[in-house]
Amino acid sequence: MTQTFTGNASYLNNGNDLIVVLGHGQLARMMYLGATQLGLNIIAVDATNRVCVNAVDKTVLDLTVEQAFEACKAITSEFEHLPKDLVKQAEDSGKFKPNAQAIAAGADRIVEKSLLEKLDIPNCPHQIINSVSDLQNAYQNLGPKLILKTSRDGYDGYGQWRIFSEQDLAVVCGDLVDFDFEHMPLVAEQCILFEREISLLGVTDIHGEHKYYPLTENHHGDGQLVLSLAPAPNLTPELQQRAEAIHKTMAEALNYCGVLAIELFQTGDQLLVNEIAPRVHNSGHWTQQGCAASQFENHIRAVAGLPLGDTSAQHLVAMVNYVGEPKPSSELLKLDNAHLHWYDKSVRSKRKMGHINLVADSVEELQKLIGQVHDLLPESLATNLAEIKE
Ligand code: ATP
Ligand code: MG
């Protein structure tokens, strides 16, 4: 569905209102939706091909990346796995927010771990793996259950091996005999028996002031987020404050601007950082219906140098990821308070196709709605709701 526009690039008429987003997936699309209501314009960049595209329908625009960078007010990104030269070019423009350092910390687990260590932020015990014998050594130190991860390019649980026994170890060591560790070092993490996964999304404005959304509880299937509940059930002010302190330390160290997501493992009072994402995040999609200003709107406000909007929760929300299945029937839309967000992508297994925000003002109401939606979903998605429905 690509089409080249020629003639006047009208989207450049007021460069002061233009934000360039590196990446052109659903996060850029939702940033566009958050920006238009503020009267700001967004151009997305297909980072692989270095072309400017419309963030919603992906049509190719008659404009080079250089022209877009030159004309815009700010440059930001929707993901961290970006070509290094593009990040450098964005950074060199002086308009890139957050910045190349934050992108590097999100893109490379080794950079991320060393930053966490330097800042004394608790994270999973881990070892860097540069050879099969490093892995055997790590298994002795961190085992009997390890999660082995590629240092770069991992997302949605891709690029991971679960090593839960000596037998698993032998199989993975065999698989890695010819692996190019120099090109792609690995990170072995101790498998943490946490009570639950939560995430904190905070937003930092251009002056370094922070605002935080309430913590979100996240449920994964096959290494991929399937469901978020927000605000996290049983959220205490102490837990929120502890997570905010971690976030503040990280945001300040990175001289941050925009939304920064921190994924955490909670066990009792203890919080371990799993990873950070220097961008808007899937576990923050609930804010589209749950808050006065969504994560997308607030990210755009921040990078555009505008005041931040309210981040407090106005409703309870369950965010259901719509993964690997075609668009649901319109029956779903008959339910009051079920909000479908569809990304218009072709269906592929494990691919995030859209999400549904289920909104309520009490736990009972939310459970009832989850039960109703459960009955309308394909089996592969309904199972994710089975435990929490009424
Ligand atoms: P995403 O992009 O979806 O955040 P990812 O591919 O970057 O995922 P991680 O967040 O590191 O990968 O891992 C995905 C999931 O695997 C985690 O949310 C968690 O459920 C599980 N997991 C990862 N690391 C550990 C660990 N050390 N101990 C226990 N579970 C883990
Ligand atoms: Mg993750």
pLDDT tens, the chain, 390 aa long: 343 444 445 556 566 799 999 999 999 999 999 999 999 999 999 999 999 999 999 999 999 999 999 999 999 999 999 999 999 999 999 999 999 999 999 999 999 999 999 999 999 999 999 999 999 999 999 999 999 999 998 887 788 999 999 999 999 999 999 999 999 999 999 999 999 999 999 999 999 999 999 999 999 998 899 999 999 999 999 999 999 999 999 999 999 999 999 999 999 999 999 999 999 999 999 999 999 999 999 999 999 999 999 999 999 999 999 999 999 999 999 999 999 999 999 999 999 999 999 999 999 999 999 999 999 999 999 998 887 776
Give 108 Cα–ligand 2 centroid separation in angstroms. 13
Q: Ligand 1 pocket, 125 CB below 6 A?
A: no
Nearest CA owner, ligand 1 atom 1: 156
Same domain? 11 vs 33: yes
269 is a domain residue = yes
107 is a domain residue = no
Nearest CA owner, ligand 1 atom 2: 155
108 is a domain residue = no
pLDDT at 10: 58
Check if the beta carbon of residue 80 is closer than 8 Å to that of residue 90. no
Contacts of 202 (CB under 8 A, 6+ apart): 210, 211, 212, 213, 244, 247, 248, 251, 259, 260, 262
Q: Which residues does residue 229 pair with via DSSP β-bridges, in sequence order?
A: 217, 318
Q: Ligand 1 pocket, 220 CB below 6 A?
A: yes
State which residues form the domain around 156.
125-190
Q: Ligand 1 pocket, 224 CB below 6 A?
A: yes
Question: What CATH number is associated with residue 158?
Answer: 3.30.1490.20
Residues of the chain by 3-state class (helix, strand, coil), percent to 5: 30, 30, 40
Domain edge (last residue) among 175, 190, 205: 190
Q: Ligand 1 pocket, 274 CB below 6 A?
A: yes
pLDDT at 7: 40
Same domain? 150 vs 291: no
Same domain? 157 vs 297: no
390: which DSSP letter? -
Same domain? 142 vs 88: no
116 is a domain residue = no
pLDDT at 2: 40
* Axis-axis angle for helices 100-107, 109-118 (nearest 10): 110
68 is a domain residue = yes
Ligand 1 atom closest to Cα of 160?
A: 6
Same domain? 212 vs 162: no
290 is a domain residue = yes
Residue type, 229: L
pLDDT at 4: 43
Same domain? 207 vs 155: no
184 is a domain residue = yes
Nearest CA owner, ligand 1 atom 5: 155
Same domain? 219 vs 282: yes
Same domain? 136 vs 169: yes
Check if the beta carbon of residue 369 is closer than 8 Å to that of residue 358. yes
Q: Ligand 1 pocket, 217 CB below 6 A?
A: no
pLDDT at 158: 84
Check if the beta carbon of residue 228 is closer than 8 Å to that of residue 236. no
pLDDT at 245: 98
Compute the distance between CA of residue 181 and CA of residue 161 in angstroms, rounded to an integer: 15
Give 350 Cα–ligand 2 centroid separation in angstroms. 15
If one counts the domains in the chain, the total is: 3
Global pTM value: 0.95
Ligand 1 atom closest to Cα of 157?
A: 6
Q: Ligand 1 pocket, 321 CB below 6 A?
A: no
What is the DSSP track for 37-106? TTT-EEEEEETTTTEEE-TTT-PBPS--HHHHHHH-SEEEES-S---HHHHHHHHHTT-BSS-HHHHHHH
Give 239 Cα–ligand 2 centroid separation in angstroms. 20
Same domain? 237 vs 319: yes
Q: Report which of 181, 179, 141, 194 is spatially closest to residue 163, judged by C-alpha positions.
A: 141
Tokens 């893109």 locate to 107
Ligand 1 atom closest to Cα of 154?
A: 6
Give 192 Cα–ligand 1 centroid separation in angstroms. 10
Q: Report which of 129, 153, 152, 151 is spatially closest to residue 140, judged by C-alpha positions.
A: 129
Which two tokens mark 199?
A: 């995430």
Strands 160-163 and 146-150: antiparallel
pLDDT at 222: 86
105 is a domain residue = no
Nearest CA owner, ligand 1 atom 16: 223
Give 59 Cα–ligand 1 centroid separation in angstroms. 34
Question: What CATH number is associated with residue 342?
Answer: 3.30.470.20
Same domain? 130 vs 179: yes
Same domain? 281 vs 201: yes
